[in-house]
Amino acid sequence: MSTFGSPLGNTSVIFDLDGTLVDSEPNYYEASRALLAEHGVRYTWADNEAYVGIGTQETLATWRDRYGIDVPVAELLTELDRRYLDLARADTHVFPEMRGLVERLHGAGVPMAVASGSSRAAIDAILSGTGLDAQLTTVISADEVAHGKPAPDVFLAAAALLGADPADCVVFEDAAPGATAAHAAGMRCIAIPYVAAHADAPAFAAAALLLPGGQSEFTAQAALDFLSAAPLRARQAPSF
């Protein structure tokens, strides 16, 4: 994909979805709580925080072992997706500053992709339901690569779809596994922790920019200022 005319030169931006672009964790928690309750497991919000940023299939495999659930991961995934999509279609909140950033990057011609640990069905439902699919047309799910985060596969696949060098990509992430994946992919990471208590996680220490206060500290303009000032290759003069 050509980046001619972009004020950020060769820079491409890759967004995580859940907890980064949208506040989907409450819906994932409720879907997970209800699913596990069917198997006699009491699941709390505190339990859920341990899985923020981990791919759905990896999470379900962990639950099978931890809680002794004798159901294949594929069946659990189908049921979790059904519950989650019912909730997501009814109400998913886009972080306003993130929507503003996406709109401004799109208007400036900056290549963008979404790379998420959620299933492709969940990603597509969220993007279409929130209208983000108008600007974010390049999408990859961790289900479509060999390994989910913290492995770099999903981010490298996103870069390939954009025709971008990983070194020219900047990842926006809310979770430590995603920050680890971005670093392993050779990409810069702007970290906006969803769980405040995780802000001091070692994975975030390597972030090019860390906002410990999460979304309460994030602004589209600050992100654009950072991207414009960062030493990326073949940059033209910023004109946001």
Is residue 16 part of the annotated active site? The answer reads: yes
C-alpha 90/C-alpha 94 separation (Å) is 13
User: Which residues have C-beta within 8 Å of that of residue 224, sequence separation ≥ 6?
Assistant: 101, 104, 105, 238, 240
Query: What tokens appear for 7 in the block?
Result: 């004020």
Q: Using the 8-state DSSP alphabet, how is residue 95 labeled? A: P
> Where do we find the tokens 């870069």?
159
* Contact (CB, 8 A) for 6 and 110: yes
Q: Which of 200, 87, 185, 186 is nearest to 142 (CA)?
A: 185
16, 18, 168, 174: the active-site residue: 16
- Please give the helix or strand (H or E) that residue 173 lies within, else none: strand 169-173
- Catalytic amino acids? 16
